[in-house]
Each structure stands twice: as structure tokens, then as C-alpha cells.
Structure 1
Amino acid sequence: MKKRVFIKSGCIALCAVFLTGCAGFKGLDNPYVFSERTALYQSSAVSGKSEPFAHDLCIVSEDTSSKDGAVTAEAAAVFDLTDKKVLFAKNPFERLYPASITKTMTALIALKYGNLTDEVTVTGDAVITEAGASLCGIKPGDKLTMEQLLYGLMLPSGNDAGAAIATHIAGGIDQFSQMMNEEAGKIGATGTHFLNPHGLNDENHYTTAYDLYLIFNEALKYPEFRKIIATTEYTTTYQDGAGSPVNATWKGTNWYMTGERQMPEGLTVLGGKTGTTKAAGSCLIMGSSDSSQREYVTVVLKAPNHAGLYDNMTNILNKIVE
């Protein structure tokens, strides 16, 4: 069984090294300076290695910052994972609310520090009462595996599944949020600060389009993550607190996978994560591949509505094949 690792270096120290602080941030109108962020990634060496931190990452510079009137979302970007190129970037470093895209980091932490076969007993932390919150329907006392919870987290976007994962991995929501921020710092997502594992709104819970690429790119290294996000429907059985079986079917919310929108010709969706709150607007990050098996990550943040979200996503996906 894997050890649960709790990284000791703090978010404040990491963020100080990476040019900007986590503590005390209030506004969401403080984007990174392109030249500073680019210089940071090109010059920061990995510990014990000579190559720059970003030798295998896509780097945004002034030259790759783009304007396109058809992209109406607040932020959007296209990353070519194969050639390590940025094909499009609009406000990539602007701090925005991520809504349920937060769950990509929750899944990453669970896969990195947990075990898929762990039996998780749901606690009271999983009781989410906020109006409109998406749930997979688990209750205190239910027993599920970590693998089942990850499907409940990523397909129906269960905030209750996120809380159950957080409590199992770290002992509580606050402790797990600290792990999320430490992990973000480790992979260079220095414009990110998380306060919960699910993305329910808080003014101090924010990230950037570029940081979400870093998080999603890291999660794609795990085959189980790829399997989960590629699933459109998942049926399972777990036990309630009395030991009785509970049957559940969870469905994904990505319109490209449900058939409500078509991918541009020549592209195939690998999967991704949606997110919606009043403050965050409609959001989506996802992976795709072309006929040559080249892979891409695309992200749209703060589109006005669901239809507008997929209009924006299709517009930036077209930049891959145009």
C-alpha cells in the first residue's frame, strides 16, 4: 500500500520563489507579466538536473499571445503536447475561478498518493448542501473504492466524491487543500490557490488557464486518469452504511463525448473536465488527438453559458487543424 505523502514545503515559500505570493491575494485582476513568467520557466533548473524546469513544457510568450474576436471567453488556450508549442493563448495567466475543473487536481492527488483499491468510508464532509452543487449521491457511511470515487468525481462531477477523497487522503478538507497547493507549486502552477477539492466558489480559490494546462498535463501521465476521462458512462455497485448494495450509474457532461457537439474533422476527444458556477461561468479543459496521434490540451474559462463554452472550444480546436 502506498504511503500517503505530505509534502512539507509550504505554498508561501514556493510562491515567493515563483515571483508571486499566495497569501493575502484578494483580487482576480492580477495577471502575470509575460516576460517574467517566460524567464522564470526558461531559467529555473530542476533540482539535481541541468535542464530548465520547462524543458518539456509549452511556454507562453508575448509572441504566442493571441487575439481572436471569435473567442469570447475570458481566457482560452491551445497547447500542442507533442511539439511543446502554444498554438493560441488569450489571457493565459489571468487568475480566474475554475469551478469543477478543480477536480483535475483532486484526481491527480488521489492517483499519486492513494490507491485505487483503497476502501473509503464516506464521512460527514461529503454532505454538500449548496444549492445547485453537482453530486454523485454518496452518503455518510457508504463504502466505496478510491477508483469508484474517482469516476463519481470526474463523470457527474460529484462534489461529495471530492470531499470523500480529500478526507480519506489527507484527513480533512483543509489538509487536502494544502496538498493541492503544494502539488501545484511543484509543477509550476504558481498562479493557483485552492481551498477545497471540488471547486465550489470562494474568492481565494483561483487558478489560470496556463496552470490548468500544467495540472491536466501532469494528470495525463497516469493511465487510469486517461481511462476515467475517456468514459462516458460508468455503472457500479457499492455498499451503504448498513452493508446493503447501492447501484449507481454516472454519466459524463462533456458535450463532445455525449454527442451534443461534434469535434472538428480530424480531431478525436480524449476526455476532459467541465465546470460551471455563477462566478466562474462555463469552463472546460480537455485533451484531444489528431490522425497522427499528436496530442493537445485545450482550455476555455469563463464563457457566458454552455452553448458559448462549446462555441469557444470549437473555435480554438479549429486552430489545430486549420
Structure 2
Amino acid sequence: MNKKSLLGLLFFTCIIMIGLYIGADYMVRHSSSETTKDKSYALEEGSTKEDNINDSTDDVTVDDQAQQLIEDENDAYKEILAKAADNILAQESQQLDNSVNDMALNPAIDSVTQESWLTNEGEEALSADSTKGDVLSATADNVSEPQLIYNAKDVDYMSYIPELIIDSELEQTLDISNPDISIDAKAAILFDADTKEVLYHKNPVEAVFPASTIKLLTSLVALDWCDEEEQVTIGDEITMIASDSTRAYLKEGEILTIRDLMAAMLLPSGNDAAYAVATYVGRKSLDNMEATKEEAVIEFVRLMNKKAAALGVKNSCFKTPDGYDAIGQYTTAYDMGLIGIAAAQNDTITEISCQSSSRNIFVSGEDVTWTNTNKLIKQYSGQFYSHAVGLKTGTSTIAGRCIVAAAECDGKKVVCAVMDSTSTGRWEDAIALLKYGLEKE
């Protein structure tokens, strides 16, 4: 309970106490007055002077007794009211102590609206807001509502990241003759997509943030649960996104196929499409098409973490279907590389993500064209790489500029994950890594 609420309750209690005190005083005085009137009436009905004197004396005695009765009653009421006040204050104090303890355990705790916990990422514009809230770690079977970070300066998000796991298997995988490739990214990795051999790495098991590259995982989960031509009616789940989100500009009531929604996620990086997919698949998994959008999204995120674990991911925790910065959400270049390999081996994802633009005619009749945010596959972008075959960009305040990219030449396919790079660096980093991978004997 906050200070304003506590002060208000104490003020209300004082008013009640005063009211009870006045009422008690009035009742006792009224009773005393009636007693005095009765006695005076007896004197007037025929008494001697002596009797008057005696009765006067008795009248004084009655007044004293009445006053004493008033004082006794007042003291009793005061004692009762004091005890009641003490009890109320003790309860309020305990609630206040509990609130303080909660804040000590969760320094970022505060009230969050339902709308605020599901806002999303701006692809090319870095998000500038922050969230607060207590955090429950997400695993494949333990997922809570995400607490999104709108202003990284307000949240010590790194304190929510556990110690990462580097087991003997991972050590052996990373034990390579690492080539000298200069890149801007904070963390990066290059894989042979067919053998999963690591060809290059830089801080591969350091905590980074996925941003919209996570939509590759969202797409993989969607294809696990749905046919490409399965139809989805857009609902109010698209209102969960923030005003600064990149979007496919979907509208409630429109009917799209799963493939349409994947194009909406992978090309313009539509956060609205990510939540439409998450809500539909989450309800399907719950076997409850009446589940709320919040329940469905939580279920979908559980499926995401479960899918990631099945791909060999060990040092990631995903909280949102679109990758928006959230407390407790993190990944590594190595883990995103594994997700990238799975995406690069999926024909539907590569067919969609290798397009510079896509025209889609919805089941409900709308005709839209989306442009890809990935400059590697756009011929006149200035960062075009002819062997690139997708996959997905990502940008956020904490994540920086990211890309999970794939390239193919002469039957050889490589995948790189470039995490937390610069605006131009992410393209140059990706091209340098992909070229090295394709040219390596």
C-alpha cells in the first residue's frame, strides 16, 4: 500500500473515532440530564425546605455521579478506540513492511498495465522506453508474463541473467583454429549449416539479446503446429504492440494464411504478425480457442523455449514472440546460430526470407506488398551479397544491430549470427563471415 493510501485510511479512522466519541458523550449526557429532570420533578411535587436541602445535596450527588459516569464512559470508549486504532496501524504497518520487503527482493517492481507488458520492437528505430516488474525465469515449462524493457537506463537487466553454461561438449565444439576476421559485432559465430561445424567465433557464449532475429524461432514453432495454408483471423492481439513497433499493418478481421503471417514477420518484421501467430498457435496448443490472448502468448513462449532446447540451445531464455527487450530474456551468438541453422534448413523460411519483397493476397481479399529489411538480399541496397539466402534482421536498444544470415554456393550452405553490431557493421560483418565460410576448403 502506498503512502497516500495509508494516510487516507488513517484520516478516515480518526473521523470515525471522533464520531464515536461525540456520540458516546451525547448519550451519557442525555442520560444524566433525564436523571436530573426526574429528581427536580419530585422536589416540585411537595417537599419541605429540609427535604429541599437534602434533595439539593442529593442533586449534587447525582450530578457528580453523572459526570463520573460520563468520564468513565469516555475513558472506556477512548480505550476501545485506541485499541482499534492500534490494530489498524499494526495491520497497515505490516502491509507496508511486506511491500518494502517485496521491493527489496525485486528492485524493479512496480505496477504494470496489461498493455505495457506486451509492447514490441522497432526494427530500424531503437526503442526508447522501459518496463519494470518482478521476474520469473522462463524455461521450457515455466513461463510468466514478460516484463519488457522500454528504457534500458532504468533496469539492471544484466542482473537477471544467470551464469551461462559451457560444458565439455561446447568447449570441444568451440576448440577450433579461429581465423583472424575483424568485425564490429560484440559477439558472432559462423557455422557450416550441414555439419554444424563452427568455422569462426567471437564471444560465442556471452549473453546478448535477440531482438527480431527471434522471429526465426517463432516461425519454426508455427510450422511445427500449423500447415502453411491454415487460415488465421486477426483479432485484438495486434493491439498488444507498442506505438514504435515495426509492423505489417494488419487489421482486425482480416484473414491470412500461416504463410502470409510468416512473410509479414520475416520481411517487414511485423510485430503484429508475430503476436497473431503466437495467439493462434498458443490457443491451439492449449486446445482452447477461447483462451485470452495473454494466456495464448504465454503458452506460445513456452513452446518457443521448448523448441529451442530441442535444437540444442542451452544458454537462452525467450520471453516474447517478437524478441522485444524483456527482463530475463537473453541468448548467445552460438544459440542464435543453432536456430539459424534450423531456419536455413527449412524450405518455407528460406523461400520467404530470400525475397526482397513479397506480394500477398489475403484470404479476406486484401492485396499487400511487403519489403524485406535484410539488405543482403536487396540488389540495389549497397550491402547486397549475391549468395545470401535470408534470413532475419533484428534491432533494439539493448540488442543493437543484429542479423542471422545464410548463404549458399555450389551446394555448400553457411549460417552466421552477428549480434550487437553497428548500423553498417552488421552487413559488413555478415558478408565477411559468409564469404569466408563459402570459400573455406
Normalised to the residue count of structure 1, the TM-score between the two structures is 0.78
Match runs of 1:174-193 below 5 Å: 174-193=298-317
Please list every run of 5 or more consecutive structure 1 residues that lacks an aligned counterpart in the other structure. Answer: 1-9, 14-23, 40-58
Q: Quick check: 1:206 aligned with 2:330?
A: yes
CA deviations on 1:88-121 (whole Å, 9 max, x unpaired) are 1001111211100010000001111111111101
Of 299, 310, 320, 2:417 maps to: 299
Distance 2:248 2:141 in 1: 34
Q: Does 1:124 align with 2:236?
A: yes
Q: Tell me how far apart the structure 1 counterparts of residues 402 and 371 of structure 2 sit (CA, whole Å).
A: 18
Identity within the alignment, % = 27
**Greater percentage in strand:** 1
For CA contacts below 8 A with separation 6 or more, give which structure has more relative contact order: 1
Q: Aligned residue for 1:313?
A: 430
CA-to-aligned-CA distance 1:119-167 (integer Å, 9 cap, x gap) = 1011211124424311000022221111111110111011000000011
1:23-61 Cα offsets, whole Å, 9 max, x none, are x9944584443646346xxxxxxxxxxxxxxxxxxx323
Q: In the aligned structure 2, how far is the partner of 1:220 from the partner of 1:36?
A: 23
1: CA distance between counterparts of 2:223 and 2:194? Answer: 23
Q: Residue 389 of structure 2 is aligned with which of 256, 270, 278?
A: 270
What is the identity, as a one-letter code, of the residue corresponding to 1:214?
Answer: L
Change (3 A) 1:77 1:170: same
The structural deviation recorded for 1:309 is: 1.1
Does residue 372 of structure 2 align to residue 252 of structure 1?
Answer: yes
Contact 2:141-2:302 at 8 Å conserved across structures? no
Q: Which aligned pairs between 1:161-240 and structure 2 lie closer than 5 A?
A: 161-171=273-283, 172-238=296-362
The partner residue of 1:37 within 170, 176, 185 is: 170
Q: Residues of 2 paired with 1:88 and 1:317: CA distance?
A: 10
> In structure 2, what is the equivalent of residue 60 of structure 1?
174
Structure 1 position 73 matched with structure 2 position 192: no
Q: Is 2:222–2:281's contact at 8 Å kept on the other side of the alignment?
A: yes
Q: Deviations over 1:221-273 (max 9, x none)?
A: 3221221112221112226xxx6x32211111111111224556xx6111110
Count of residue pairs brought into register by the alignment? 274
Tell whether the 8 Å contact from 1:29 to 1:95 is kept in structure 2 after alignment: no
What amino acid does structure 1 have at the position aligned with 2:166? V
SS of 1:127's partner is: helix
How far, CA to CA, are the matches of 2:407 and 2:267 in structure 1?
17
**Counterparts in 2 of 1:152 and 1:73: CA distance versus 1, 3 Å:** same
Give the Cα–Cα distance (whole angstroms) in 2 for the partners of residues 237 and 315 of structure 1: 37
Which amino acid counterpart does residue 420 of structure 2 have in structure 1?
Answer: K
Letter in structure 1 aligned against 2:328: N
Which segments of 5 or more consecutive residues in structure 2 lack a partner in the other structure?
A: 1-138, 143-156, 284-295
Task: Report the TM-score when normalising by structure 2.
Answer: 0.58
**Distance in 2 between the 1:25 and 1:152 partners?**
31
Q: Which has the higher helix share?
A: 2
CA contact (8 A) 1:127 1:140 kept: no
Residue 315 of structure 1, CA deviation: 2.6
